[in-house]
Amino acid sequence: MQCESCSKEQSITLSSGERCCSYCRRHLVECEARYLLALPLQKRREQLDARLKTRGEKSVAELKRTMEEIFNARKKLPTVPR
């Protein structure tokens, strides 16, 4: 199957369940969102502020939206009993 954005072969499944290639912006944003979610809260805020200054509000809003989607998807996963 071809990627809708760039017509390359689809190889990545995003947290939303969509498939795209590893060259697409959607994949890049999701990778960055996962990285930021792994940071401690204070560092995450610092990184988002830095991105706001360089990339603008629209880009940071997209990143935050993706972070929220990933966070919510993780909450729905069943936990492993200990």
Task: Tell me the pLDDT tens digit for each residue of 20-33.
Answer: 888 888 889 999 99
Q: Looking at the domain assignment, is residue 7 inside a domain?
A: no
Q: Please list the alpha-helical segments (H only) found in 1-82.
A: 25-38, 41-55, 57-76
Write down the mean pLDDT value for the chain.
85
Give percent of the chain with pLDDT exceeding 90: 51
In the DSSP assignment, the letter for residue 74 is: H
**Domain total in the chain:** 1
Integer Cα distance of 76 and 82 in angstroms: 18
| Residue 53 predicted with pLDDT over 80 | yes
| Residue 41 predicted with pLDDT over 90 | yes
Nearest CA to 67 out of 22, 15, 19 is that of 15
Q: Looking at the domain assignment, is residue 38 inside a domain?
A: yes
Q: Looking at the domain assignment, is residue 4 inside a domain?
A: no
Q: Quick one: tokens of 14?
A: 């995003």
DSSP H or E segment with residue 13: strand 12-13
Give percent of the chain with pLDDT exceeding 70: 82
